C-alpha cells in the first residue's frame, strides 16, 4: 500500500467515524505500526494547515478526529443554526476545574474543596461527558474516583491534561487552606 492510499484510508476512517479514533485502532485497521502511521498523520495535518483547508485533524491523547476550523464557525452557524447548548453553571465549572487539576479525586474531596455538595454538578458533568468514573478508592465505602474525558480535552482544545494552564502557588495554597 502506498502513502496516497494510506492517507485516503485514514481520511475515510476519520470522516465516517465522527468520534475520535485511537491510534491503536488505526494501526489495527491498516495493519501498520504507530511509527509508520504517525508521520503520515503529521503530513496530513501539515497539508491541511498549509492549504488553509476548512478541515483539520485534531489529536487528543492518541485519538484523532476531523474538525472544522474554529475561524469558520460563523459561516457554519449561519447555515445550520445549531441549537444553542446551555453553558455550564458556576458550580459545574468550579467542580470541573477541581477535578481537572486534582484528578483522580473523590466527590467528598471535591465537596471539601468547594465547601458545598457537588452531587448535581458532578451529575451534569458526567451527563455532558466531560468527566467519568475512573476507579474506586481502596478505602472504607470504596468511593468513586473521577477524572476528565477525551470530550473534556476536545471541548477545551487540549491534547492532554498536561496542557492545562499552571495554577499559581497562591491559588493552590488558597484551595488547600479552605479544605481544612
| CA 24 to each of CA 33, 38, 77, 93, 151: distance values in angstroms, whole numbers, following the listed order | 9, 11, 34, 32, 18
pLDDT of residue 174: 55
pLDDT of residue 169: 52
Tell me, what DSSP letter sits at residue 23? H
CATH 1.10.10.10, the chain: domain bounds: 3-79, 90-177
Q: What is the mean pLDDT of each run of 10 residues along the chain (180 residues)?
A: 93 92 95 95 95 93 92 84 71 94 94 92 94 92 94 88 77 54
Dump the DSSP string for 75-123.
HHHHHH-PPPPPPPPHHHHHHHHHHHHH-SEEHHHHHHHHTS--HHHHH
pLDDT of residue 113: 92
pLDDT of residue 135: 93
pLDDT of residue 78: 81
pLDDT of residue 94: 93
> Which listed CATH number (3.90.1200.10, 1.10.10.10, 3.10.580.10, 1.10.540.10) goes with 3-79?
1.10.10.10
pTM for the model: 0.59
pLDDT of residue 76: 84
Exposed/middle/buried for residue 85 (C-beta within 10 Å: 0-12, 13-18, 19+): exposed
Query: What CATH topology corresponds to 90-177?
Result: Arc Repressor Mutant, subunit A (1.10.10)
Amino acid at each position: 500500500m502506498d502513502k496516497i492510499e494510506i492517507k485516503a484510508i485514514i481520511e475515510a476512517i476519520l470522516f465516517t467515524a465522527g468520534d475520535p479514533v485511537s491510534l491503536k485502532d488505526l494501526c489495527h485497521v491498516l495493519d501498520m505500526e504507530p511509527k509508520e502511521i504517525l508521520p503520515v498523520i503529521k503530513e496530513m495535518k501539515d497539508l491541511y494547515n498549509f492549504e488553509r483547508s476548512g478541515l483539520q485533524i485534531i489529536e487528543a491523547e492518541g485519538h484523532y478526529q476531523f474538525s472544522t476550523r474554529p475561524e469558520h464557525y460563523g459561516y457554519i452557524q449561519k447555515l445550520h443554526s445549531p441549537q444553542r447548548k446551555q453553558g455550564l453553571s458556576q458550580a459545574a465549572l468550579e467542580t470541573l476545574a477541581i477535578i481537572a487539576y486534582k484528578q483522580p479525586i473523590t466527590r467528598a474531596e471535591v465537596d471539601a474543596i468547594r465547601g458545598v455538595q457537588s452531587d448535581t454538578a458532578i451529575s451534569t458533568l458526567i451527563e455532558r461527558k466531560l468527566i467519568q468514573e475512573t476507579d474506586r478508592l481502596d478505602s472504607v465505602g470504596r468511593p468513586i474516583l473521577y477524572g476528565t474525558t477525551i470530550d473534556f480535552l476536545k471541548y477545551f482544545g487540549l491534547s492532554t491534561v498536561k496542557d492545562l494552564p499552571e495554577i499559581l502557588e497562591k491559588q493552590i495554597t488558597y484551595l488547600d487552606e479552605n479544605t481544612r
